[in-house]
Amino acid sequence: MITGVPTSELHDTIKTRLLAAGQRYTNRRRQLVEILARSGKPVALPEILRGRSLAQSSVYRNLSVLERAGVVRRLVTDEDYGRYELSEDLTEHHHHVICSNCGTVQDLPMPAEFERRLDQTLDRVARTAGFAEVSHRLDLFGLCADCAEHS
């Protein structure tokens, strides 16, 4: 995710995308975007609801509206809940490190040069398998500092 306080340009971009998708940028949706943007890592539903009076069904519905408009991305994990984050082109390309013990997820940007070479190689390999227009998802698994200490 990697966004602090959401800027007004961010909101403008999102509004434009929603309008293009025939949707309004309502207060509820703005609120969701704020939550995602401030979090700095993919957020699961209970965290979104915690301490806020939001209707569960509205949150799910709005997240999927935002996803269809290309504003939000849904991640599937081994956990019980899906996780949501702002689309990469609204923030910056990044990866995730996931603690294989406690499940904590953390954003992790990579050196640009590394990304460039990675894309190059992947594109070549995928082409040999008959795939085109390739993008990638790269996640890391390991023990976070906390869990490494207490074991």
Partner DNA sequence: GCCAGAATGAGAACGAGTCTTATTCCTGAA
Partner DNA sequence: TTCAGGAATAAGACTCGTTCTCATTCTGGC
To DNA, the closest distance from the beta carbon of 31 in angstroms equals 8
Under rule CB under 7 A, residue 54 binds DNA: yes
Window contacting DNA (CB under 7 A); options: 62-70, 99-107, 119-127, 134-142: 62-70
Distance CA 64, CA 73 (A): 9
Q: Is 96 exposed, middle or buried (0-12, 13-18, 19+ CB in 10 A)?
A: buried
Residue 37 is encoded by which pair of tokens? 């943007």
Under rule CB under 7 A, residue 80 binds DNA: yes
Under rule CB under 7 A, residue 75 binds DNA: no
Rg of the chain (C-alpha set): 17
Under rule CB under 7 A, residue 68 binds DNA: no
Distance CA 124, CA 120 (A): 6
Between CA 60 and CA 70, with CA 65 as vertex, the angle to 5 degrees is 125
Binding site for a second copy (CB under 8 A): 74, 76-78, 97, 99, 106, 108, 110-111, 114, 118, 121-122, 125-126, 129-145, 148
Judged by CB, which is closer to a second copy: 9, or 113? 113
Q: How far is CA 131 from CA 50, 113, 121, in A?
A: 42, 24, 13
To DNA, the closest distance from the beta carbon of 110 in angstroms equals 27
Binding footprint of DNA on the chain (CB under 7 A): 22-24, 26-29, 45, 54-58, 60-62, 64-65, 80-82
